[in-house]
Structure 1
Amino acid sequence: MTPPASFSIRHATPDDLEGIRVIYNHAVVHTTAIWNDVQVDLENRRQWYEARMARGFPVLVAILDNAVVGYAAYGDWRAFDGFRHSVENSVYVAPGVQGRGIGEALLRALVACAHERGIHRMIAAIASENAISIALHAKVGFRTAGVFSEAGTKFGRWLDLTFMELAVGQGKPA
């Protein structure tokens, strides 16, 4: 058996947005990882990327064979001043390369970025049926903070939402 090829992780550039868009749209169409029903175009991903860059938030990509095979980012958890030290993360890996450690490497790199930037808490909102994502976050040190029953819908059914949190930094509130 041939071992899987190695991948690298780096900060995304605008040239990576098409690869990010493809992964995002696959999740929209085929999973409950994203609770949107409509696929996005490249302009949508460009605006998403620019909004994160304007806030100083990282967007990371995993590269395998010169292609984007995963991405991770964080953004504001809630849009009120009192929540400015907490962020919500997202991690997505392309089908066909899942199970190779790409998601874990992306999440660990994202947590490291948050630590460097003085973030206090990282929060993950995960469809409760997504046992793989919950296990991944637990492996990196996140703990379950609560579950909301029937918090949203996708594919014509109610979905529960699990919140997980990670203490990233110990900074003083400002």
Structure 2
Amino acid sequence: MHQAARRVIIVAVMQIRTAFPSDLAGILAIYNDAVLTTTAIWNETPSSYAERLAWFEERTGAGFPVLVAEEGTEIVGYGTFGPFRPHEGYRPTVEHSIYVAPAHQGAGIGKAMLRELIKAAENMGKRVMVGAIDAANDVSLVMHEAMGFREVGRMAGVGEKFGRRLDLVLMQRELSGRHH
């Protein structure tokens, strides 16, 4: 009598939730990896825990969301949005950012997080969401287009990192938020 081969499939459950200060170590690790190894963030200096804490307190203190993607107890991504520009006339518009840990990229985490950020912005009455994306980041550009963003501007050579000039693509999506 042969025993049937048993296959075990392990599925990691990913949840997106509001970030807490206790998540900052995970957020910091993802942020600093992006600073050191990618052109997703145009900073060249890694952040300290104190700097990320100040950023978190400023963002959440102003009423803006900071979300994390969590698998088990591991923070595998984070996303947020804040003011597009500091002048009052831009209040209906927000600019978002999303970062996913390298080992978890390509699993739909970024898209799921963007979906939640869009809902949060609409619930706040925002009317436009902007993404500023490195022109060489094809994966992000395609994801944003799939999520209803359209390219509205391309700025050649406005950035520099790793000894290369970088182009910036501005993408935007109209939201169904009501003006407050």
Residue in 2 aligned with 1:74? 81
Distance 2:151 2:47 in 1: 30
CA distance in 1, matches of 2:84, 2:135: 19
Matched, 1:32 2:39: yes
Distance 1:3 1:114 in 2: 34
Counterpart Cα distance in 1 of 2:76 and 2:149: 24
Q: How many residues align?
A: 173
Look up the SS of the partner of 2:170 in the other structure. strand
Q: Please, which of 160, 168, 171 is the counterpart of residue 153 of structure 1?
A: 160
- In the superposition, the TM-score normalised over structure 1's length comes to 0.95
* Letter aligned with residue 110 of structure 1: L
Asked whether 1:16 is paired with 2:39, we answer no
Gap change, CA 1:139 and 1:4, over 3 Å in 2: farther
Higher gyration radius (CA): 2
Q: Once the 2 structures are TM-superposed, how far is the Cα of residue 126 of structure 1 from its aligned partner?
A: 0.2
Aligned match of 1:116 in 110, 123, 135?
123
Partner of 1:130: 137
- After superposition, give the CA deviation of every residue in 1:88-140 in whole Å (9 maximum; x if it has no partner): 10000001111111111001001000011101110000000000111111111
Alignment of 1:88-127 (within 5 A): 88-127=95-134
Q: 1:170: Cα distance to partner?
A: 5.2
CA separation in 1, counterparts of 2:58 and 2:152?
A: 28
Q: Which residue of 2 aligns with 1:42?
A: 49
Conserved 8 A contact 1:4-1:100:
no
Identity %: 43
Partner of 1:143: 150
Structure 1 stretches of 4+ with a deviation exceeding 3 A read: 1-4
Give the CA RMSD over aligned residues: 1.3
Give unmatched runs, 5+ long, in structure 2: 1-6
